[in-house]
A = this chain, B = another copy of it.
Amino acid sequence: MTEQKKRTTIVLFSGDYDKAMAAYIIANGAAAYDHEVTIFHTFWGLNALRKDEPMELKKGFLEKMFAKMMPRGADKMGLSNMNFAGMGPKMIKHVMKKHNAMTLSQLIEMAQEQDVKLVACTMTMDLLGLQQEELLDDIEYAGVAAYLADAEDGNVNLFI
């Protein structure tokens, strides 16, 4: 009798730095305990997957607006709380450095090394005008059906 692997499936909806950190810390922990882990990035959570560099892509007016207004990648994201006009994220990054805590970018890298499946929600990419070239390499693209297929057999299902 083979034992089935445990499974953790996280929807990352939020574009907040601290919430994305929480998602990736749980994901990396679960991967270390040999779970099959998926993070399904939708809406503002897609911003965690954006590459840092600006890009010249053909986009409509609204899509350009969104692209400008949304943070470009993990390091540019704000906090869910105590943002204080940007002072909060700086303070958090200071204490994280002091405590040798991993940054969100490092947590994402670690997740990729541990084979956490990173998925970008194609429906909301469309809505926000995000294109595959703008997002990190080696991620997958799928919709809500694929999410549900992963989640329905999951042990730990979270919406963050």
Chain A positions near chain B (C-beta within 8 angstroms)? 6, 8, 11, 13-15, 18-19, 22, 25-26, 29-30, 33, 35, 42-44, 60, 62-63, 65-66, 69-70, 80-82, 84, 91-92, 94-96, 98-99, 101, 123, 126-129, 144-145, 147-148, 151-160
CB-defined contacts of A42 to chain B, threshold 8 Å: 22
CB within 8 A of A65: which of B13, B81, B91? B91
Q: Which single residue of chain B is at the shortest CB-CB distance from A69?
A: B82
Are A95's CB and B158's CB within 8 A?
A: no
Q: Complex formed: what's the CA distance from A144 to B155 in Å?
A: 15
**Copies of this chain present:** 3
Contacts of A33 in B (CB 8 A): 145, 148, 152
Task: Give me 9 A-to-B residue pairs in the complex whose CB atoms sit less than 8 angstroms apart, sorted by A's number.
Answer: A6-B152, A11-B22, A15-B81, A44-B81, A92-B127, A101-B123, A148-B156, A151-B155, A151-B156
Q: Which residues of B contact A156 (CB under 8 A)?
A: 148, 151-152, 154, 157
The chain B residue with its CB closest to the CB of A27 is: B144
Residues of B within 8 A of A144 (CB): 25-26, 29
